[in-house]
Amino acid sequence: MVRETRLAATDLIYPLFVSERITSRTPVESMPGVAQLTVEDAADEAALAWGEGIRSVLLFGIPSEKDELASQAYAEKGIVQQAVRAIKRAVPEMIVITDVCLCEYMSHGHCGIARIEAGCVEVLNDESLELLARTAVSHAAAGADIVAPSDMMDGRVAAIRRALDVGGFQNTAILSYAAKFASAFYGPFRDAADSAPQAGDRRSYQMDPANALEALREVALDLEESADMVMVKPGLPYLDILWRVKERFEMPTAVYHVSGEYAMLKAAVANGWLDERAATMETMLSFKRAGADMIVTYAARDVARWLSGHSGK
Ligand code: PBG
């Protein structure tokens, strides 16, 4: 009766990795329970998740071809575009969110256009905006309800909003990865999405883990540029940021329980050191207590099953 925080399956956003390079479901070694999926598998997975009460998925694509302009990111028949259509066909009411970034599609693995000389990387912010906007529009054209830019280029929310409006997608919402830190906890994701930078790192565009006020400025800018929802990422090491963002802006706020956080939990569970269900549910509750409205987590299906009283796997 006196419980202050409640968790529901409708709070969850379930990330899916869809790959053009595989012919059947391929487990991601560093993320037990997570697999790269074909387009058909992704539609099946979305349908199963829907049946368990999950109402939203977040799509990442792994293309068969990468180049220096990320052309497959905005190709009409790109892997994410195909997956959006397949999921919408299988589960029309599922809220489909697409991650808008170029790193999975760039031969060098950076989130924008990059100039690389003698191992030195310069990511070209302004030049990248047009490609990001084009990617977002192509996702919307395929049927995405929400686009989620995760590249961290400055000005991308405004560029994407403008392009969506011009393209006739006024109703497509933007969930901005507004406070995204240059984190060591993305390691397993880069295996899953094959998006590790070939040279350099992401510290010129993602945030310094030491900075909280800068996170607030990043969120303020994205909201000015007309983001509809904002995200804090990673989750557990940044609960203070999540709390401050929610308190300050009172906007729909998402948190990303990232691959490294998930992998740590799974590894401890595999060793018999943590109780999976109790530790996972406590983590989810901590996100809600800190102000999250939405939680992106690879554990979404387990959490949904536990919430509905099934013992899960
Ligand atoms: C793309 C992107 C990343 C994640 C989400 N979108 C990787 C990165 O920035 O390197 C990480 C998600 C996770 O670790 O679960 N830029």
Q: Which of 66, 88, 233, 288 is catalytic?
A: 233
Strands 26-27 and 12-19: unpaired
- In this structure, the number of other CB atoms found within 10 A of the CB of residue 190 comes to 16
On the question of pLDDT at 293 being above 50, the answer is yes
pLDDT band of residue 312 (cuts 50, 70, 90) is very low
Helix (H, G, I), strand (E, B) or coil at 138: helix
Q: Are 255 and 232 in contact (CB under 8 A)?
A: yes
Q: Is the pLDDT of residue 2 over 70?
A: yes
Residue 225 CB neighbour total at 10 angstroms: 19
Q: How confident is the model at residue 284 (pLDDT cuts 50, 70, 90)?
A: very high
Q: Quick check: 259 pLDDT over 90?
A: yes
Q: Which atom of ligand 1 is nearest to the CA of 185?
A: 14
Ligand 1 atom index nearest CA of 180: 9
Q: What domains sit in the chain, N to C, each tagged with a CATH number?
A: 9-308 (3.20.20.70)
Residues 61-119 pLDDT 10s = 999 999 999 999 999 999 999 999 999 999 999 999 999 999 999 999 999 999 988 88
Provide the pLDDT for residue 309: 85
CA distance 76 to 107: 19
Give the pLDDT confidence score for residue 119 in this predicted structure: 81
Which position has the token pair 């109790």? 278
Which DSSP state fits 281? H
Residues with a CB atom less than 6 Å from ligand 1: 99, 101, 103, 111, 150, 186, 189-190, 195, 202, 258-259
Average pLDDT for the chain: 96
pLDDT digits (tens, 9 = 90+) for 27-71: 999 999 999 999 999 999 999 999 999 999 999 999 999 999 999
pLDDT band at 300 (very low <50, low <70, confident <90, very high): very high
Query: Cα(117)–Cα(46) distance, rounded to whole angstroms?
Result: 42
